Amino acid sequence: MSVKVLSCEVKHGNVTRGKVMRGLHKTDIEKIMKEAFEKNNIEVVEQYPIRCKYGYIADFAIPNKKIIIECDGEVWHKLGNSRDRKRDAVLRKLGWKVIRFRGNEIKNDAQLCVEKLRVL
């Protein structure tokens, strides 16, 4: 059985919003997680736009289960980041469950991150 990692884009002028926000490449930790999802036959959507006034784009989503997976790099996402807490609160109000994995968690054991998702 082949697994698809779908890409979801929102048009913003001539460039998609995901590409504007993230550049043309994924971070190393996003690449690691994508490989882990594929290896474990977990279908996710990359760069999933959340319909709300803030225009959030999730790193990965499992829309039919209303799960968002964020891959938090150490530089931009310090523990207890107020911007991330606000974003998570908005997403929870919209009915999403937000799972955040730190970069060191992903690099050390991406399979453990996947196992945490399996119990949801």
Task: Report CA-CA distances (Å) from 43 to 69, 78, 83, 88, 90.
Answer: 12, 28, 28, 22, 24
Rounded CA-CA distance 56/36 in Å is 24
| pTM metric for this prediction | 0.75
10, 16 in Cβ contact below 8 A?
Answer: yes
> Tens-of-pLDDT digits for all 120 residues of the chain?
334 444 444 443 333 444 444 444 578 999 999 999 999 999 999 999 988 887 889 999 999 999 999 998 876 556 567 788 889 999 999 999 999 999 999 999 999 999 999 888
Tell me how many domains the chain contains: 1
User: Which domain covers residue 87, as residue numbers?
Assistant: 5-118
Rounded CA-CA distance 37/112 in Å is 11
Q: What is the CATH number of the domain that holds 111?
A: 3.40.960.10
Rounded CA-CA distance 79/96 in Å is 21
